[in-house]
């Protein structure tokens, strides 16, 4: 009996120490956790949802549908450049294993077609800030400069020049892990993790190598790329997804840091 009681008291003591240290830690790491959120104006491009909405998924889908034309033109106050066309200054893809081992740098990428996205499905959990968005694009046309080194299906490749690609029926899933941050008493959502996965219906490539140009080697390379397009894309998918995810995480976090959480997600 006494032993059990001692154990119980110890356990209680342990628990309260744990609780206290948790509390202290909270105060230490979130000195601004005391909220002070005025009634912000709602910009015209936002249709807010409520955390308590039992149909929050379809509400948030509407938010994104409403936002689309604004994203197409860009939202200067959120530092969001237009997504139609979408210009990506630089993207690196490195893959060190498998049949496609390359280091590729794409620069001055222009994408035509991202603005025609549609949202096929959304799952949003505001308790854990987990958001899954299924997006599809009928067609995306890409062009830009490339510099690539490595091996593609046993062929050594060293090439730089211009590329053009046509992607048809692109289905992507973006899995967002959000993190709530409090700045000067105001909550913001930032993206902690953004995982992208995608499937391509059709792919066409064309590259113009600055060294080989439009000669036989250049034509052979284009034929080779197109004949193996799906396999090459499949091999590069993890590296490409990581690179795309990183780009859009940075891109979106700038916007999220300018728009308080409460503006697009009401508490009641
Ligand atoms: C944490 O902060 C709250 C409110 O600012 C205060 O009431 C509480 O005593 C603090 N807790 C600790 C362990 O300092
Ligand atoms: C970037 O691409 C655009 C459109 O394709 C082109 O007009 C521009 O000259 C390019 N800039 C550079 C630095 O290559
Ligand atoms: C977007 O879709 C519309 C309607 O289907 C089409 O007319 C337009 O050409 C598309 N835009 C791009 C850039 O693909």
Segment 73-116, tens digit of pLDDT: 999 999 999 999 999 999 999 999 898 999 999 999 999 999 99
The 8-class DSSP code of residue 53 comes to -
Mutating to test ligand 1, I would choose from 27, 28, 30, 36 the residue with most ligand atoms within 8 A of its C-beta, which is: 27
- We find that the CATH architecture of domain 49-266 is Super Roll (3.15)
pTM for this model (two decimals): 0.79
Outline where DSSP puts E strands in 73-209. Answer: 86-95, 100-112, 118-125, 130-152, 155-183, 186-209
Provide the 3-class DSSP secondary structure of residue 128.
coil
For the chain, give the percent of residues with pLDDT over 90: 66
- CB of 164 within 6 A of ligand 2: the answer is no
The Cα–Cα gap between 32 and 44 comes to: 29
- Tell me the domain boundaries of the chain: 49-266
Per the model's pLDDT, the better-predicted residue between 2 and 223 turns out to be 223
172-226 residue pLDDT tens: 999 999 999 999 999 999 999 999 999 999 999 898 888 765 566 677 888 888 8
Neighbours of 191 (CB within 10 A): 20
Tell me how crowded residue 9 is: count the other CB atoms within 10 A of its CB. 10
């Amino acid at each position: 009996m006494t032993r059990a009681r001692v154990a119980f008291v110890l356990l209680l003591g342990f628990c309260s120490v744990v609780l206290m240290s948790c509390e202290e830690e909270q105060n230490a790491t979130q000195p601004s956790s005391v909220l002070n959120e005025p009634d912000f104006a709602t910009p015209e491009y936002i249709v807010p949802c409520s955390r308590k909405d039992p149909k929050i998924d379809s509400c948030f889908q509407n938010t994104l549908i409403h936002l689309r034309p604004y994203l197409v033109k860009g939202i200067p106050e959120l530092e969001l450049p237009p997504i139609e066309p979408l210009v990506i200054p630089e993207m690196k893809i490195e893959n060190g294993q498998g049949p496609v081992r390359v280091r590729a740098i794409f620069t001055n990428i222009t994408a035509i077609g991202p603005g025609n996205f549609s949202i096929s499905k959304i799952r949003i959990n505001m308790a854990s800030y987990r958001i899954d968005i299924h997006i599809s694009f009928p067609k995306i046309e890409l062009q830009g400069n490339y510099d690539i080194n490595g091996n593609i299906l046993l062929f050594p490749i060293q090439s730089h020049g211009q590329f053009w690609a046509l992607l048809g029926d692109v289905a992507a899933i973006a899995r967002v892990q959000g993190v709530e941050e409090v700045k000067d008493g105001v909550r913001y959502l930032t993206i902690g993790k953004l995982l992208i996965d995608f499937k391509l219906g059709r792919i066409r490539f064309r590259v113009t190598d600055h060294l080989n140009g439009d000669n036989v080697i250049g034509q052979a390379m284009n034929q080779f790329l197109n004949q193996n397009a799906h396999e090459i894309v499949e091999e590069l998918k993890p590296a490409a997804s990581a690179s795309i995810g990183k780009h859009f995480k940075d891109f979106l976090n700038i916007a999220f840091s300018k728009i308080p959480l409460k503006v697009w997600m009401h508490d009641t």
